[in-house]
Amino acid sequence: MSSPLLWRCRDRALDLSVRTAVMGIVNVTPDSFSDGGRWLDPAAAIARCRELAAEGADLIDLGAESTRPGAVAVSADEQVRRLEPVLRALAAEPARLPDGAGTALVSVDTRSAAVARRALELGAHVINDVSALDDPAMGAVVAASGAGLVLMHMRGTPETMQTRTAYADVVAEVAAELRERVARASAAGVADDRIVLDPGIGFAKAAEQSLELLARTAELVALGFPLLVGASRKSFLSRLLGGLPADQRLEGSLAAATLAVVEGARIVRVHDVAATVRAVRVAEAVREARPARGPSLPA
């Protein structure tokens, strides 16, 4: 049996026991919450993908549909139109990591099986599904390709999710709902070593619930799959930082990523790659330096 920290993504694999992976965000959208419109032009998006890889992004996550609270769905055809030139460019010339360390894997952030199918035809390695297989065809599409799959916790849709934040115990309920989505993926033929889980910070979560998920990351790690945490620039940070706009939340984003890694997260999804790579290297060193059984005090 392979290690639960070896994430297989088509013909590639990330050994997450050796190093925490950093996933860099590139939104080819006009309306994403942090950088809407900045990378909509294909040439700008391609250049940004190469820049993030050069900063150390192990994966580039391309999104062609905003999933911010209140966002309206984008058709599969329009998502493909936005993604295709970028995916073609990255297939022809992969984005290179620094110091000859290989090339970044390409992830596509979509809820649509039709978009996923086309992205995989164009060489994507990972499908990052914020709906965790709400599209009934998604599991089979991913299984047939052998791609990596991120199952993120969300209730409802981006348009409705912030009306669905009632939890008796947010961590226990997120864990239970993720287990159900893993079962759905398994039934569709997706192998366990292709699956990564994401608790969905900010998706159908109030700010306090996002903080609780971060504080109890270790309980989600115990589900037995690599855990991805995406807290970068999200609105709960603004509430803690005096209302700062998205592009001024770097320090808060770094703190959230560091805490998640110390508690066992193996992938962080971020906008600010270079700074996060440096912070994560320290965080994972602290995690590995922890004694197996918690600290003990002298008698």
Contacts by residues 249-257 (CB-CB < 8 Å, ≥ 24 positions apart): 250/275, 254/279, 256/201, 256/214, 256/229, 256/231, 256/232, 257/229, 257/231, 257/232, 257/283
> Which of 269, 278, 281, 290 is the catalytic position?
269
Nearest in space to 264 (alpha carbons), one of 229, 294, 212: 229
The closest alpha carbon to 230, from 31, 58, 22, 16, belongs to 22
Which spans in 188-272 are helix H?
A: 207-215, 217-221, 235-240, 250-262
Q: With contact defined as beta carbons under 8 Å apart, do 246 and 203 qualify? A: no
**Can 48 be counted among the known catalytic residues?**
no
Which listed residue (117, 234, 249, 266) is catalytic? 234
Q: How far apart are CA 284 and CA 16, in angstroms?
A: 11
234 is catalytic: yes
| Catalytic site positions | 234, 269
